[in-house]
Chain A
Amino acid sequence: MSIMEYNGGSVVAMVGKNCVAIASDLRLGNQALNVATFDKIFPVTDRIYIGLSGLATDVSTLRERFRFRVNMYTIKEEREIEPATFAHLVSSTLYEKRFGPFFIEPVIAGISSPSRGSKPFIAAADLIGCLNFAKDFVVAGTASSELFGIAEGLWEPDLEPEDLFETISQTLLNAVDRDAFSGWGAVVHVITPDRVITRTLKGRMD
Chain B
Amino acid sequence: MECQFALTGKGYVIVASDTTAARSIVKMKDDEDKIKTLGPHMLMSYSGEPGDTVQFAEYIERNLRLHQIRYHHPLRPSSAASWIRRQLADSLRSRSPYAVNLLVGGYDIATSEPHLYWIDYLGTMAHIPFAAQGYGSYFALSLLDRYHNPEASLEEGLETLRRCISEVEKRLIVGLGKFKVKVVDRNGTREIEL
Contact = CB atoms under 8 A, between A and B. Distances in A.
Interface-centre pick from B85, B92, B125, B137 (highest chain A CB count, 10 A): B125
The 10 A-B pairs of least Cβ separation, nearest first, read: A36-B126, A57-B123, A56-B124, A57-B122, A36-B128, A57-B124, A61-B89, A57-B89, A28-B126, A35-B126
Interface string B18-41: 000000000000000000000000
Interface of B: 85-86, 88-89, 92-93, 118, 120, 122-128, 131, 137-138, 141
B137 A33 contact: yes
Contacts, number: 45
A33 B124 CA distance: 14
A60 B122 contact: no
Nearest to B85: A60
Contact of B141 (A33, A56, A61, A100): A33
28 contacts: A28-B124, A30-B120, A33-B137, A33-B138, A33-B141, A34-B141, A35-B118, A35-B126, A35-B131, A35-B137, A36-B126, A36-B128, A38-B126, A56-B122, A56-B124, A56-B125, A56-B126, A57-B85, A57-B88, A57-B120, A57-B122, A57-B123, A57-B124, A57-B125, A60-B85, A60-B124, A61-B123, A64-B86
Contacts of B123: 57, 60-61
A176 interface: no
Main secondary structure of the interface of B (DSSP, over half): mixed
A7 B118 CA distance: 14
A14 interface: no
Contacts of A61: 89, 123
Contacts of B137: 33, 35
